[in-house]
Amino acid sequence: MNEVQIEQKIKTIKLVATDFDGVWTDGKVVFSQTGEESVVCSRKDTLRTKEVKAAGIKLVMISKEGNPVVTARCQKMGVECFQGVDDKLSLLRKFLVREEIKPEETAFVGDDINDLECLKFVGLPITVADGHDDCKKVALYTTTRKGGDHAMREIFDWILSIRRKS
């Protein structure tokens, strides 16, 4: 697919669905002595979420992990979040039906093999620079930034810049 075709897809996107770990984070988890988990997220990644939503694009997070830190981060960003999801594709399909959005109007950002079905299903599959090689083979766009290192900011800047051209 050429650049012009990808830009056309971006102009019709109504949803950006993402994984959490490895996309919004570097995929690492820090455990305290009491067993509490924490992750590091970039504020730069979240700075454009309001603009993306104002452009008519919904955002949703779909994570295999179930963790209060994901809930807290999504609440702060105002992003709907689903956790503990083993079958991300089934959940994504149900979400699209609920929101009346077509797969071709959807971007999915994933970084690992459990994201492959969603990446293959949507119109705009995206992965991060340090994503699994299988994700890179499917993706129409691979960020220059690694997951958790402003990759989502790069994606949001890219989408918004193209949408502003039209």
Summarised one tens digit per residue, pLDDT across range 18-61 is: 999 999 999 888 888 998 887 877 888 888 999 999 999 999 99
Which neighbouring-strand residues pair with 110?
127
Residue ranges of domains in the chain, CATH in brackets: 3-165 (3.40.50.1000)
Quickly state the pLDDT bin for 165 (edges 50, 70, 90).
Answer: confident
pLDDT digits (tens, 9 = 90+) for 64-123: 988 888 888 899 889 999 999 999 999 999 999 999 999 999 999 999 999 999 999 999
Tell me, what's the pLDDT at 97?
Answer: 98
Q: Which of 106, 72, 70, 112 is nearest to 91 (CA)?
A: 106
pLDDT score of 166 more than 80? no
Q: Which residues contact 164 (CB under 8 A, 6 or more apart)?
A: none
Beta-strand pair 124-127/58-62: unpaired
